[in-house]
């Protein structure tokens, strides 16, 4: 029954379209067949070759039988079975089939208009027997008729949008759009209307356009900053049975500067030590602002109580805090507290919200200064004092004074930094600060003393520099400025100036300082020289006669008395040496000093020195020759078969065993503490000599009783004297090696070399039983035992 109803509706629909005209609903052109060959006939009569030139078929047909599309019929078909209908074109045989006899067309598959809206087919009537065309091929269209089988879709959803807070009613937020794949030209399948499902009463949507607007005025971001709105799009103009879809729109209220800054506490209190350095952060405070970003930026100001510019305030750009910092040092004793008035003001003010109130706020900040124990304070920091170098020990020079800046005013003690007064010239009274001399002063050694005075109070200290200038007294006699070398020509004329002298004085030079020159009393009446005071702190020495001769006197010593103008005046006698010289025609000295009268006239001093050097060289050579001849008469070695040499054989682990040996003279290693009263054998690198110890050596005390710093010196001196006393010693220096530890070792020697042979408890009888390796030792020590060769 359902299928029959569907077919009836389709037929009614097709008839309606046919009555409306040949143009299709989608605007496809009318494709009525016109055969050029029958154009004249067409003018004569109206002939319709085919019953229909356009067919309609509903999409999404779900029946079990093929869907009837329509019927093709040719005028030449006489219903005698001679006509066969042929269908070709788009979807022929695969989608559409035709009954060859009747021309009925059926759709064998389910069609979807959204995939393909129409199909173009070609039909022809042919002779069944000959297949000859009975009509020209004609084209027609099968259009798929739309049904509402597609719901609307929001291709751009979900949406996000923003709108400023406090916006007026009806402010546009965003526009949403839904699309429907159904045919917009047929029925209401693609006609969409919008409605708001969730978001009331804050927002509304226009049904046709999808524009979302604010539905409430003055929405406050600080109360709620985000809303999620659900929008529905429904086709069929929103009627029942239409298809729908939804999307979400996230609406964010953007901030505007509608909130002024406000201090949570308008009275703030901070404590600060007076010793806090400059600059230091005193406090941080912040005014709360419900706005964000640039709308919450603010500036802070100190508008009252900052006298005189002790504090300043800046804005921390990251936290928007007001940072109060110190600009000048604090002094608890001067001012113990500060009352500041701080203002916070919005930096970016929106004029449309000025009615909301002033966009600033103030707070009272009290800074309380806490007392700390401060060091004493000197005034001034540098003291200048003067003392005479003649001042006696204990003379008061001056006084230093310091005060305790704290309110407690504790006692202060004074002391001198001895690093600045290493020689301890001065003392300071610990309680009064009186500085006095502790040693005699000498301006010529140190004219200015720069000492540091410490003032200490409760472990806090400060220091002050005292410049002490030592005033000069006349305590140094004047002397010659330089060591003069005065030369006098033999042909000098009377009254000739031979030297101009000056003087110096270690005392402080004054503008009125004056030196007086004169000859000493012993030379005041001499006939050779006179002295003239030039009255400009110089004097001139002049000759009183002519005819000086070196042969008679080559050197004159002239005592000069120099006196200063001090009070009391000091003087000194300085000797001026005048040497007589043989001068040339131009007055330049050529030869000075004494003359050797025994020399021939033609023999010079250089020749005399050369002859003397040759004579000395010959004498030295003769002495060397005589000494060598004497040495040849005395044999260097004393052949004594009984000479026994003790040797140490050193076995080198990396060497060649017993064959790798080095011999050392062990006589020098004998016990140094034994008093020798007989001959001791000493062996040098080149000779062997026997000599007695001197009386001083035999009477010397034991080395072990001497101090550590003397024992080595005594040992070396003993060896040196013994070597000097040996008549057969080589006539040249030789290297002596003594292996001697001194008395520093806490362990006794393990060697038998320090044990006298006369009292030795060692037995060497077993050496002969130790094999051939010890045969030589057995021969040596077995024969020596008890012989007393070292006794």
Query: How is 763-782 classified by DSSP, letter by letter?
Result: --GGGGGS-GGGHHHHHHHH
> Which tokens hold the place of 628?
């060598």
Q: Tokens in use for 395?
A: 């003379």
Cβ atoms of residues 145 and 56 within 8 Å: yes
Of 120-134, 204-218, 342-356, 398-412, give the lowest mean pLDDT range.
398-412
Alpha-carbon distance 429 to 454, whole Å?
11
Torsion of Cα atoms, 106 then 111 then 117 then 119, to 10°: -30
Count of CB atoms within 10 A of residue 724's CB? Answer: 9
Tell me, what's the pLDDT at 762?
59
The DSSP-derived string for 139-201 is EEEEEEEP-S----B-TT-SEEEEEETTPPTT-EEEE---B--S-TTSTTTT--EEEEEE-TT
Per the structure block, which two tokens stand in for 567? 């009070």
What is the per-residue pLDDT for 36?
37
Neighbours of 636 (CB within 10 A): 13
- More confidently predicted of 532 and 149: 532
pLDDT confidence bin for 788, thresholds 50/70/90: very low
What does the alpha-carbon distance between residue 383 and residue 380 come to, in Å, rounded to a whole number?
7
User: Which residues lie closer than 8 Å to 729 by C-beta, 6 or more apart?
Assistant: 684, 687, 689, 723
Q: Is 294 exposed, middle or buried (0-12, 13-18, 19+ CB in 10 A)?
A: exposed
Given this model, what pLDDT does residue 590 score? Answer: 81
- Residue 324 sits at the vertex; the CA angle it makes with 323 and 327, to the nearest 5 degrees, is 130
Which domains does the chain possess? Answer: 54-145 (2.60.40.60), 153-254 (2.60.40.60), 262-370 (2.60.40.60), 377-471 (2.60.40.60), 479-591 (2.60.40.60)
Length of the chain: 791
Residue 777 has pLDDT above 50, yes or no: yes
Residue 502, Cβ density class (10 Å: 0-12 exposed, 13-18 middle, ≥19 buried): middle
Residue 296 near residue 320, CB atoms below 8 Å: yes
Helix or strand run (H / E) with residue 84: strand 83-89
The two tokens of residue 634 are 């005395």
pLDDT at 110: 80
Show the tokens assigned to 123. 């039909």
Q: Are 254 and 221 spatial neighbours (Cβ–Cβ below 8 Å)?
A: yes
Residue 694 has pLDDT above 80, yes or no: no
Query: Which range in 123-132, 376-385, 760-769 is most confidently predicted, on average pLDDT?
Result: 123-132
Cα 93 from Cα 108, distance rounded (Å) = 9
CA dihedral 12, 15, 17, 23 (to 10 degrees): 160
Q: Average of pLDDT values for 176-191?
A: 83
The residues near 376 (Cβ < 8 Å, ≥ 6 apart) are: 402, 403, 404, 405, 412, 455, 456, 457, 460, 461, 462
Q: What is the pLDDT of residues 484-498, one digit of tens each?
A: 989 989 888 898 998
- Under 8 Å CB-to-CB from 354, ≥6 apart: which residues? none
Lowest mean pLDDT among 113-122, 291-300, 434-443, 474-483: 113-122
- Angle formed at CA 322 by CA 316 and CA 324, multiple of 5 degrees: 110
The number of C-alpha atoms within 13 Å of 177 and in the hemisphere containing its C-beta is: 3
d(CA 287, CA 734): 100
For the chain, give the mean pLDDT.
76
For the chain, the distance separating the N- and C-terminal CA atoms, rounded to the nearest angstrom, is: 161
Q: How many CB atoms lie within 10 A of CB 328?
A: 12
Round to whole Å and give the CA distance between 563 and 573.
9
Torsion of CA 533, 538, 542, 548, to 10 degrees: 140
- Report residue 15 as tokens: 């008839």
Strands 382-388 and 460-471: parallel
Nearest to 550 by CA among 523, 519, 581: 581
In which band, very low, low, confident or very high, does the pLDDT at 86 lie, cut at 50, 70 and 90? confident
d(CA 728, CA 723): 9
Backbone angle region of 327, left / alpha / beta, with phi > 0 → left and psi within -120 to 50 → alpha: alpha
pLDDT in tens, 25-66: 343 334 333 343 333 333 333 344 454 556 777 777 767 778
Average pLDDT (572-593) is 86
Q: Which residues contact residue 283 at a Cβ distance below 8 angstroms, ignoring those fewer than 6 apart?
A: 268, 270, 323, 324, 365, 367
Q: How far apart are CA 754 and CA 744, in angstroms?
A: 16
What is the band of 716 on the pLDDT scale with cuts at 50, 70, 90? confident
Q: Which residue, 571, 576, 546, is CA-closest to 559?
A: 576
User: Where is average pLDDT lowest: 170-174, 561-565, 693-697?
Assistant: 693-697
Q: pTM for the complete prediction?
A: 0.45
How many other β-carbons are positioned within 10 Å of the β-carbon of residue 229? 24
Q: What is the pLDDT of residue 85?
A: 86
pLDDT at res. 709: 57
Phi-psi domain of 400 (left: phi exceeds 0; alpha: psi -120 through 50; beta: other): beta
Q: Please confirm whether the linkage preceding 749 is cis (ω < 30° from 0).
A: no
């Amino acid at each position: 029954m359902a299928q029959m109803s569907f077919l009836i509706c389709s037929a009614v629909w097709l008839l309606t379209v046919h009555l409306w005209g040949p143009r299709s609903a989608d605007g496809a052109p009318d494709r009525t067949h016109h055969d050029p060959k029958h154009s004249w006939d067409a003018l004569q009569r109206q002939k319709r070759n085919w019953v229909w030139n356009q067919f309609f078929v509903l999409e999404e047909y779900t029946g079990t039988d093929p869907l009837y599309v329509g019927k093709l019929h040719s005028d030449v078909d006489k219903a005698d079975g001679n006509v066969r209908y042929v269908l070709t074109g788009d979807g022929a045989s695969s989608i559409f089939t035709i009954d060859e006899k009747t021309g009925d067309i059926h759709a064998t598959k389910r069609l979807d208009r959204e995939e393909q809206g129409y199909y173009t087919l070609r039909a022809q009537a042919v002779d069944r027997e000959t297949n000859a065309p009975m009509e020209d091929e004609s084209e027609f269209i099968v259009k798929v008729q739309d049904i509402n089988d597609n719901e609307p879709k929001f291709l751009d959803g979900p949406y996000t949008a923003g709108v400023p807070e406090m916006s007026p009613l009806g402010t546009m937020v965003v526009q949403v759009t839904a699309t429907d794949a159904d045919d917009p030209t047929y029925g209401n399948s693609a006609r969409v209307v919008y409605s708001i499902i969730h978001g009331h009463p804050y927002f509304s949507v226009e049904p046709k356009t999808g524009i979302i607007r604010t539905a409430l005025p003055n929405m406050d971001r600080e109360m709620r900053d985000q809303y999620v709105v659900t929008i529905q799009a429904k086709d069929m103009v929103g009627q029942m049975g239409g298809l729908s879809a939804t999307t979400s729109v996230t609406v964010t209220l953007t901030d505007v500067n509608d909130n002024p800054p406000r201090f949570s506490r308008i009275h703030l209190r901070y404590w600060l030590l007076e010793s806090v350095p400059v600059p230091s952060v005193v406090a941080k405070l912040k005014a709360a602002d419900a706005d964000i970003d640039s709308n919450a930026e603010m500036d802070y100001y100190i508008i009252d109580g900052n006298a005189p510019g002790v504090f300043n305030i800046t804005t921390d750009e990251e936290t928007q805090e007001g940072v109060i910092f110190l600009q000048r040092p604090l002094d608890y004793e001067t001012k113990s507290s500060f009352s500041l008035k701080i203002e916070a003001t919005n930096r970016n003010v929106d004029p449309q919200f000025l009615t909301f109130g002033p966009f600033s706020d103030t707070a009272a900040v009290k800074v309380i200064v806490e007392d700390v124990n401060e060091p004493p304070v000197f005034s001034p920091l540098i003291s200048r004092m003067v003392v005479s170098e003649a001042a006696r020990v204990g003379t008061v020079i001056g006084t230093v004074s310091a005060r305790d800046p704290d309110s407690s005013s504790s006692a202060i003690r004074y002391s001198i930094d001895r690093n600045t007064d290493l020689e301890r010239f001065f003392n300071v009274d610990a309680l009064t600060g009186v500085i006095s001399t502790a040693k005699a002063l000498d301006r010529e050694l140190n004219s200015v003393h720069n000492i540091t005075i410490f003032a200490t109070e409760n472990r806090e200290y400060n220091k002050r520099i005292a410049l002490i200038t030592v005033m000069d007294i006349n305590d140094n006699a004047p002397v010659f400025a330089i060591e003069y070398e005065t030369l006098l020509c033999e042909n000098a004329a009377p009254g000739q100036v031979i030297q101009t002298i000056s003087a110096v004085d270690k005392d402080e030079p004054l503008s009125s300082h004056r030196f007086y020159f004169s000859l000493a009393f012993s030379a005041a009446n001499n006939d050779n020289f006179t002295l003239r005071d030039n009255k400009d702190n110089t004097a001139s020495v002049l000759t009183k006669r002519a005819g000086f001769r070196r042969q008679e006197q080559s050197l004159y010593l002239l005592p000069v008395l120099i006196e200063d103008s001090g009070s009391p005046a000091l003087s000194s006698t300085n000797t001026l040496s005048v040497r007589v010289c043989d001068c040339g025609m131009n007055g330049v000295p050529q030869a000075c000093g004494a003359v050797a009268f025994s020399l021939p006239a033609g023999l010079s001093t250089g020749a005399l020195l050369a002859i003397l050097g040759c004579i000395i060289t010959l004498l030295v050579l003769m002495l060397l020759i005589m000494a060598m001849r004497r040495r040849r008469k005395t044999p260097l070695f004393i052949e004594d078969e009984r000479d026994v040499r003790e040797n140490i054989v050193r076995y080198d682990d990396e060497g060649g065993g017993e064959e790798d040996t080095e011999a050392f003279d062990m006589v020098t290693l004998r016990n140094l503490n034994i008093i020798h009263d007989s001959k001791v054998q000493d062996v040098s690198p080149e000779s062997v000599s026997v000599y007695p110890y001197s009386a001083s050596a035999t009477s010397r005390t034991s080395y072990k009783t001497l101090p550590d710093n003397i024992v080595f010196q005594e040992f070396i001196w003993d060896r040196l004297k013994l070597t000097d006393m040996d008549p057969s010693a080589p006539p040249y220096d030789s290297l002596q090696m003594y292996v001697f530890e001194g008395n520093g070792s806490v362990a006794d020697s393990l060697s038998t070399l320090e044990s006298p042979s006369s009292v030795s408890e060692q037995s060497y009888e077993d050496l002969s039983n130790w094999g051939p390796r010890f045969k030589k030792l057995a021969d040596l020590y077995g024969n020596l035992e008890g012989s007393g060769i070292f006794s």
